[in-house]
Structure 1
Amino acid sequence: MSQPKLRIVMLNDSQGRALVILPGDELLNLVSVWKHTQRQLQPLSAHDSETFFSQDALSAEKGIRQLLTLPVLIDTSCKLDGDFDVLEPNSNRVLRLNSVLLGDNVQYCKVGISSAAIDAKQPEGNDVAVITRAVEKFTTLRIKQRLEDTLGLPTLPPTAQKIIELRADPNAGVDDLVPIVQMDPSLSAQVMSWAASPYYAAPGGIDSIHDAIVRVLGYDLVVNLALGVAMGRTLQLPTDTPRGSTPYWLQALFCATLSEKLAKLAPADRRPRPGLVYLTGLLHNFGYLTLAHIFPPHFSLVSRYIEANPHLHHEYIEKQILNVTREQIGAWLMETWNLPEEVIKGIRYQNSTSYDGDFHQYAQIIDLSLRVMRINGMGDGPAGAIPSELYEQLGLDAAKVQETFQLIHEKTDQLDEMTNFLEAG
């Protein structure tokens, strides 16, 4: 059975609730709703929306009639005559409505925007030019010097700078890493805590940083973990996030862990370096923190739009609100901080299945990991079907990928506990 072409969204404010009906594949433009109704209607959280639309009462005509006593805003492109179906994405509930039942509570206005229309109004130029225009348009900042200086982003802490230098040195090893970790008390505590965690189930006690690295975690993991922790300290986690979303560090850690394991499953001739894949996964959403830092008022608006448009990838929502995406600004920041090119490309093109440029395997494996997470109820955005060509390009089997996800998911509580160290860093 094909999905209905229309979707329904419930909004509310201090005056009560209202409904919006619009094309199912379009973005609900909350600003248009506010202008037309002169009300600051906000979307229900995903949980509240699912709870409401899962009611058995909505299976009966009496329940539908009661629902349609609410004010209803309908996009002008919708031609409603007789019976028609609408989808509520959070509950996946399809309701059969009738135009006659809409009564006198209906208002028509343009509230939907297509993905093509969003793309058509995006500024042209490379990522730096796009970011610069967005900063000038949506903040009081005017770019006079280098972009990174104007934004007031914190510089990388000494620990992160030393680790980046270490990663660039092919001859570096555990003996070079241990002193760097030991100089940072917080990082030392985190490395020891991770090594002792049930997730790694190390036999015997962990006596030292050297022991934790050599016997349990491994050089690559500690380098990437230390870098992620050090970078995470530079920006605060936002508070006004989409309600019900996967916590930032849990998503980052899960993506990193899954991506690394999938990299190890890939055929040798197509296998990206697992350590760099882990780092890419850990930092894949760092642009999200950067958007919250640069555009705080607009970031709240992005969160409300994500709640109102669970069927759309966040890329289109950020383009509509800010004219720049977290992937663009995240990759630019990684380049500014001199991270490996593999990480930069992996972050920038993680949503571009068709990208076939340098280090495309890194972008593809992050893309696949995030898609698998979404179809299993983790992360934000629509849980659409995973293109078969994505598996083929990486040389991976879909059943094996799902099995790998499941093995990690069984340890989610332990991963979640480990995120406490990242959040505390």
Structure 2
Amino acid sequence: MSIAVKSISCADDDAKTIRMVLLNDHEGKALVLLPANMLLNLVSIWKHSGRHLQPVRGSDATKFFSQAALKIELGQEKLFQLPVFIDSSLEGYEHFNVIEAYTGLSFEAHKEWFKDHLSQCSLGLTPHAIEQFQPAGSDEQVITRAVERFTTLRIQQRLEDTLGLPPLPMTMQRLLELRSDPIAGIDDLLPLVCSDASLASQVMSWAGSPYYAAPGEVHSVEDAVIRVLGFDLVVNLALGVAMGKTLTVPDDTPRDGIPYWKQSVYVAATAELMCKKIPVESRPKPGLVYLAGLLQNFGYLILAHLFPPHFALLSRYIEANPHMPLEYVEKQVMNVTREQIGAWLLSDWGLPEVVVEAVRHHNNLSYDGIASHEAKLIYIVNRELRRQGLADGPIEDVADSLLQQLGLSRADVDEVVASVASNTGDLDALVHTIMHAH
């Protein structure tokens, strides 16, 4: 299940809108008020209150703030009988234009409702403030500092040797070689697939998936590769799955979020379809776009692998700040983002540079490198899928000017998203085959 988060601006000049957050612990519920352009720093409220208040899960917040009583002033005033914590920047406010992120509920609250039971402290951080405290340097230097700060590891040699990340199996190394070989074809791929029983089983499962709608039964690996899937799809699916399965999908993820493999497959499938709408003369290679989409969230698994206790904290921060771009939440909690650490490892493993760059910069609209089209395409796909409840993150508008840069129209985008939304059952079946591959 995914909860669509209403759009709230995080711009530094949007401090007049006040975000309302519901927290709870064994003592009961509490409300927090802070400017909507700020990240709620849970550690600050824990230190100030002496309570271990946690954000309620998104579905519970939606249910709570959708109560009919909260649509009238009497119910709104009653809501503020809860303990209220306000950010110190709101000290002089007598009236608050409050908004709740999960439901979009908004109304004017009056300080007189809760002036006898409010508590004031510094609770929030703007994106600008978060950036000011981030370590400088290359991605590898940033990752090294984060590892040294948040683990007992001390980096004394090559970073990849220190972290204990598993190497890719030999079959996957050979697949990478094929992916990078411009003249490699099915005759090179088939012997490799047939020699690896696990990979052969996966290929047969994918070919039999309803999403690919193969005419007739698939009788052999050769049939699956040649008639149904093709060279690019087999290589890209195999690589994406192998890399994802080198690390365990974490348990303590943000509640009500989209599962890792489901989001990966949805983004990859949508990005590939949308790529084919781009004019031929400027169109990226659909196979590389698919692989970049499948791996765009790979750094999420690495964060969970390297920083288990802090990853659990990260999940709570994401729940408390559903309006905030994930990169700022990750920078505040970990000092490193999933894009930085994911792209670093994929580069170390020898993935094509276009894929690495797309993974690194798919949330960075100012990026203008060799994977500019691929990165912008995945940016668009993520935000369109969020509107459908098929990807995690705050809902953000996609500018028509961005579509025009890729030669896409709004009609193209809507057509592709509608197609994916109507095939969720078949895509879920494909996700199932990936998750249960051995």
Report the TM-score when normalising by structure 2.
0.94
Whole-Å separation in 2 of the counterparts to 1:194 and 1:159 = 18
SS class of match (1:265): coil
Whole-Å separation in 1 of the counterparts to 2:42 and 2:138 = 29
The one-letter amino acid of 2:333's match is I
SS class of match (1:95): strand
Q: Which residue among 213, 235, 243 is the counterpart of 1:223?
A: 235
Alignment of 1:263-412 (within 5 A): 263-412=275-424
**Is residue 136 from structure 1 mapped to residue 148 from structure 2 by the alignment?**
yes
Moved more, 180-189 or 104-113: 180-189
Match of 1:169 in 2: 181
SS class of match (1:373): helix
Whole-Å separation in 1 of the counterparts to 2:277 and 2:89 = 47
Alignment of 1:9-28 (within 5 A): 9-28=21-40
Match of 2:84 in 1: 72
Contact between 1:374 and 1:381, CA under 8 Å: does it hold in 2?
yes
Which consecutive residues of structure 1, in runs of 5 or more, have no partner in the other structure? Answer: none
Whole-Å separation in 2 of the counterparts to 1:378 and 1:205 = 30
SS class of match (1:356): coil
Contact between 1:232 and 1:422, CA under 8 Å: does it hold in 2?
no
**Shift, 1:411, TM fit:** 0.8
Which consecutive residues of structure 2, in runs of 5 or more, have no partner in the other structure? Answer: 1-7, 10-15
The one-letter amino acid of 1:137's match is R
1:260-313 per-position Cα deviation (integer Å, ceiling 9, x unaligned): 111111112221110000000000000000000011110011100000000001
Whole-Å separation in 2 of the counterparts to 1:76 and 1:140 = 35
Whole-Å separation in 1 of the counterparts to 2:61 and 2:259 = 20
Q: Which runs of 4+ in 1 moved over 4 A?
A: 79-82
SS class of match (1:237): coil
Q: Which residue among 193, 204, 217 is the counterpart of 1:192?
A: 204
Moved more, 9-18 or 410-419: 410-419
Q: Which residue among 213, 227, 233 is the counterpart of 2:245?
A: 233
SS class of match (1:74): strand
Whole-Å separation in 1 of the counterparts to 2:96 and 2:47 = 27
**Shift, 1:80, TM fit:** 5.5
1:329-388 per-position Cα deviation (integer Å, ceiling 9, x unaligned): 000001100000000100000101111112211111111111111122222221111122
Match of 1:252 in 2: 264
**Shift, 1:96, TM fit:** 2.5
The 1:15–1:196 alpha-carbon spacing in structure 2 relative to 1, beyond 3 Å, is same
The one-letter amino acid of 2:287's match is G
The count of corresponding residues between Structure 1 and Structure 2 is 425
State the structure with bigger RCO (CA 8 A, min sep 6), 1 or 2. Answer: 2
How many percent identity over aligned positions? 53
Task: Please tell me the root mean square deviation across aligned C-alpha atoms, in Å.
Answer: 1.5
The one-letter amino acid of 1:173's match is G
The 1:363–1:71 alpha-carbon spacing in structure 2 relative to 1, beyond 3 Å, is same
**Is residue 53 from structure 1 mapped to residue 65 from structure 2 by the alignment?**
yes
SS class of match (2:212): coil
Report the TM-score when normalising by structure 1.
0.97
Whole-Å separation in 1 of the counterparts to 2:54 and 2:67 = 21
Whole-Å separation in 2 of the counterparts to 1:137 and 1:84 = 38
SS class of match (1:405): helix
